[in-house]
Amino acid sequence: MDWHLRRAGAADAAALSLVAGATFLEAFAGVFDAADIVAHVSRHSSAEAFGRYLAADAIATLAEAVSGKAPLGYTLLTAPDLPVAVQAGDIELKRIYALHPTHGNGLGPALLAQAIADARASGHRRLLLGVHGGNRRARRFYEKQGFVIAGARRFLVGATWHDDLIYARAL
């Protein structure tokens, strides 16, 4: 599947929301309860939620199919909101997801590389992110990209608490 990356803006909130809900479901179906997934996506991945992120100076990248421009993945960089000692120059990679059919074709590494480039271009010096502790595939991906564990947190999905690891990488 051919794709390209581009900076997302306020007009892309609905496309970001669509791919956010689909990728969250793909990642956590069978791991989280359905009601928790629906509640979480409704609250944190609506078009309105993306509109608020973008209005608050978040940086988003959208991966689109070359043919038809369907959204395939995205990243979202925000001010850090993690329970670790935040340093000057920190930014959080709040979201990075790609639809399953794109796995293995380089989209994930390309999205991360773009997020790193965007963070550096914005003057940031360290990238932070949270990942579900049981998501071994994602943890291996981040560790291969130079991230190290910097802490942990409890993360609410719907009505259920989960354990996340917090990763950090110098830029």
* Exposure on the CB side of residue 44, measured as CA atoms within 13 A: 17
55-111 tens-digit pLDDT: 999 999 999 999 999 999 999 999 999 999 999 999 999 999 999 999 999 999 999
Q: What is the pTM of this model?
A: 0.94
30-48 tens-digit pLDDT: 989 999 999 999 999 999 9
Domain parsing of the chain, residue ranges: 3-170
d(CA 151, CA 70): 36
CATH topology of domain 3-170: Aminopeptidase (3.40.630)
- Asked whether the predicted pLDDT for residue 134 surpasses 90, the reply is no
142-151 tens-digit pLDDT: 999 999 999 9
- Asked whether the predicted pLDDT for residue 156 surpasses 90, the reply is no
Beta strands in 28-135 (DSSP E): 59-65, 71-78, 90-98, 126-132
